[in-house]
Structure 1
Amino acid sequence: MTSQLPRLIVALAAVVAAGVALFPPDWLPPGTGMTTAVALVTISFYATGLVAEAVTSLLFFLAAMLFTVAPAEVVFSGFASNAFWIIFGGLILGMSIRHTGLGQHIASVLLSRLPGRYSLLIAGAVGVGLILAFVMPGSMGRMVLLVPIAVAIADRLGFSDHANGRIAVVLAAVFGTHIGSFAILPSNTPNVVWAGAMESIYGVEIGYLDYLWWHFPVLGLLRSLLLIALLIYVFPDRIPGRPAPDEPRGPMTRDQRQTALVLLAALGLWASDALHGVGPAWLALAAAAYCLLNGPRLVPEKPFAALDIGPLLLLSGILGLGAILAYSGVGEAAFNQLLPALPLAPGQGALNYALISLGGVGLAVLAAMPGVPAIGVPLGETLASATGWSVQSVLTILAASYSTYLLPYQAPPILVGAQLGRVPWGALTRFTLGFAVLTILLIFPLHYLWLRLIGILPG
């Protein structure tokens, strides 16, 4: 963005917010004018990056409490979320990976096997993230594991701090493991919310392979290929150098082995949480506690002085914003206001798909990503009646909606991964928006045709 554009966007949002607060429209739930105003200004700050994201979160907390838009337990609910503790544990694990030199060691091992071409390097990073999405539930945990290694690889290859190559390698790992997970049922929260709502409301139980067949060929595989192409185009670069093929590489030190064992144990327990029932947040916290108890060998002597709390404040603010919108019903009211205006009609297959999918993308701007299936699934019978499709058919389209976000603040895992990888905010925002636009223009039509081909959507 130009230097003046963020200020103009925030100023416009502030003017609109003031109007909404003073003269709330009739369709808003009673007493939510100020809630909507606070949300609009907060979103404008997150979207533009006019001030640091962590500071935006603090301003949001302050405004939400001063104007009492929701109870404190709602505003600060992000601090009590599982995601907060996954990221806290991840920050400590990342600190241990850097402190012990394990990241550099892993990077050296991988570089001896990675291809020497820049395009294949980006494709490899996306591929590793996609594979990990099959074996490890929870995008936050995958960010914790992948991003420090991606940063170490960029360092070993000689990419400077703001080089295109460094940004592309980190974003390949971040987007690669997050985007693909939307096509794999248990791999992220919105999928689970969608499947749970389908079962609880309509008694329809969705199988793992069914969901994979419906979405992975297009939303998973083809979109990953689009991601690779866009990263190479937007961040052109070349590998500045590689370690010599015969560069000696000694064995891991004792501290590196200990950190590696903690990571492997966490990964194994994350992947098998359905068996033991311990949530990924508490596994991450246990791993972090182990590292802290073994300082200063596994972490610096004063680990909390070295801890960057920015990602924690950012995540808590984003989750708190989503919580107050859900609590107030603003997002649901906006969607219900839009729904009657949509020209849905039986026999208009492509138009119905476009309206429902784009309506969900718009809803995601005012709701947390899990809020799209949470709000959309209960409207299944209304949408089915308007389109002439079955409830399952029409709600299958929502996967395209809640997996497509226009701006980074809508997807906390992307935000946190980019922060861990020190990706500049402007580059992240531009890439996120560009990828969303290309997804809508190229992937959505292919997804519609695929659902038609396999019989999910009628002809």
Structure 2
Amino acid sequence: MTKHISMIGFVGGIVIALLVGVLPFSGISPAGQRCLAVSLLAVIWWATKVMHPGYTSVILLTLYVLLGVAPANVVFGLWTTPIIYMIIGAYLIAAAVNESGLGKRIAYSYILRYVNTYRSIIVGMYVLGLLLSFIIPHPWPRSFLIMSVVAIIVKSAKIPLKDAVNIGLAVFAGSVPTSMVLLTGDATVNPVAVEMSGQAVSWLGWLWMMGLPGLAATLLTLGLQLLLYKPSAEVHVNKEEIRKLLRDLGPLSGAEWRCILWIGLAIVLWATDSLHKIHCGWIALVVAMGLALPKVGGVLKPSSWREVPIETAFFLTAALAIGRVGAVSGMNAWVASVLLPSNAPSNAFLFALFVTLIALAIHMCLGSVMAVMGIAIPTLIQFGESAGMTPLVPSLLVYIAIFIHYILPFHHMNILVGLGEKQGMYTDKDVIRFGIPLTAIVFILPLAVVVPWWKIIGLL
């Protein structure tokens, strides 16, 4: 079935791109029409999984240049910004935390102190995800690190499979809202949401705007999981085994101390970026290189480079290029004029509701958070101008709506990477059961928390 869908998407994407490229459209420039054709081809191929997203992304970027839609420095513009180097640095820092053993030490210590019952295990998965987001700037390595500890708990406490599945789901579902709190909580997505707005936001600025919404999303998601999933049996955590594992780690090693010092420096510099004006991306990259230096670092090895996924970098480049090239070619303005009303609602609550509905509709079809951001944010920024909205407002509203939304696993990579018995232990059915009621939170959050908070701090 999947192969049939991929083949239909492969052929259908080419046909639609050719039709859009040659049919007469009024009000759009030739470059804008070529941009629309190529962008639709990529979006269809992404949605139907014709090939790995990295390959589709390279095809999209190459066609933009070869067809003269935009110059190469615009198409590959992400590589000239610190955003891409923040992503590279984030993966290397995550590798250092894992390789040094610091992450496991924190997880073991938390469990020994705070985890006793099934309920405390579920809560702990969310709390650990939030705590580790300060030192591991990407949710996937955080989640896999926590799952390595969860596997020990499940085995030693003889937790039934049904409850083990719920715990695994808590690890990966919890990684979604907890990643929203810090700009570096998800160094792949969060900075790009800011970059697409065209405005600068400091590390503390993000925390000021998104910290409360992120914590609210975390509490709402956690509350929903505790409500939906009750334990089938009483759980007794075998803490002696956890103590043994912690003892086996020994005292803090030199590598762990060096990790603490370098990452501590990163956090201080991130928090003060509004003063020294050094972008968080350069800080992440410098700290990662510091972790590789002899004597003062020595945590990162040559093999650590394998943790940096080049395909993800090209996918992000393509997602950002859709918005940038669409603006240069005139595609964004044309799409906004054709698909959206001429005037945006001036009421902030109605505007937030409208943006959420549009973003969710696109996300249901495409699935990819980055692809939807690349399409929806530039269009809705253009739309919001009629109501006097600063570009940051529609950009972050789109980000919030699609970042916490999923019904099927492919709707969110944080959920997809944990799918299966060898990862988070949960199945498609478990995700759907949780994702459908989770959609209510997608609407509750902007209307009950985000808009009121942004009004208080003056963003709206």
When normalised by structure 1's length, the TM-score is: 0.69
When residues 407 and 319 of structure 1 are mapped into structure 2, their CA distance, relative to the original with a 3 A threshold, is: farther
User: Does the aligned pair in 2 maintain the 1:96–1:291 contact within 8 Å?
Assistant: yes
1:25 corresponds to: 25
Percent identical: 21
When residues 294 and 79 of structure 1 are mapped into structure 2, their CA distance, relative to the original with a 3 A threshold, is: same
SS state at 2:113 partner:
coil
SS state at 2:256 partner:
helix
RMSD over aligned Cα atoms: 5.2
Cα offset for 1:258?
0.9
SS state at 2:341 partner:
helix
2:91 corresponds to: 91
| Alignment pair present for 1:403 and 2:400 | yes
When residues 441 and 171 of structure 1 are mapped into structure 2, their CA distance, relative to the original with a 3 A threshold, is: closer
Residue among 135, 143, 147 paired with 2:137: 143
The 2-side partners of 1:315 and 1:95 are apart by 20
| Alignment pair present for 1:152 and 2:145 | yes
Unpaired segments ≥5 residues, structure 2: 155-163, 185-189, 456-460
1:202 corresponds to: none
Unpaired segments ≥5 residues, structure 1: 198-206, 384-390
2:43 corresponds to: 43
SS state at 1:178 partner:
coil
User: Does the aligned pair in 2 maintain the 1:129–1:174 contact within 8 Å?
Assistant: no
Cα offset for 1:77?
1.5
2:157 corresponds to: none
Cα offset for 1:279?
1.0
Query: Residues 7-18 of structure 1 correspond to what in structure 2 (within 5 A)?
Result: 7-18=7-18
The 2-side partners of 1:111 and 1:302 are apart by 30
| 1:224 maps to amino acid | T
Cα offset for 1:286?
0.7
Cα offset for 1:72?
0.8
2:357 corresponds to: 358
Cα offset for 1:373?
6.4
Cα offset for 1:130?
5.9
Query: Residues 444-459 of structure 1 correspond to what in structure 2 (within 5 A)?
Result: 444=443, 447-448=446-447
When residues 381 and 429 of structure 1 are mapped into structure 2, their CA distance, relative to the original with a 3 A threshold, is: farther
When residues 24 and 82 of structure 1 are mapped into structure 2, their CA distance, relative to the original with a 3 A threshold, is: farther
When residues 111 and 29 of structure 1 are mapped into structure 2, their CA distance, relative to the original with a 3 A threshold, is: farther
| 1:444 maps to amino acid | F
The 2-side partners of 1:60 and 1:95 are apart by 30
The 2-side partners of 1:393 and 1:318 are apart by 22
Cα offset for 1:78?
2.1
User: Does the aligned pair in 1 maintain the 2:172–2:415 contact within 8 Å?
Assistant: yes
The 2-side partners of 1:402 and 1:392 are apart by 16
Query: Residues 59-458 of structure 1 correspond to what in structure 2 (within 5 A)?
Result: 59-117=59-117, 120-127=120-127, 143-144=137-138, 147-158=140-151, 164=165, 165-166=167-168, 168-178=170-180, 190=193, 219-228=213-222, 243-244=239-240, 246-247=243-244, 248-249=246-247, 250-294=250-294, 297-304=298-305, 307-340=308-341, 354-355=353-354, 357-359=356-358, 369=373, 376=380, 379-380=383-384, 382-383=386-387, 391=388, 400-405=397-402, 441=440, 443-444=442-443, 447-448=446-447
Kindly tell me the number of residue pairs found equivalent between the two proteins: 419
Cα offset for 1:193?
7.4
User: Does the aligned pair in 2 maintain the 1:189–1:370 contact within 8 Å?
Assistant: no
When residues 432 and 86 of structure 1 are mapped into structure 2, their CA distance, relative to the original with a 3 A threshold, is: farther
User: Does the aligned pair in 1 maintain the 2:321–2:374 contact within 8 Å?
Assistant: no
The 1-side partners of 2:443 and 2:172 are apart by 26
Cα offset for 1:30?
3.1
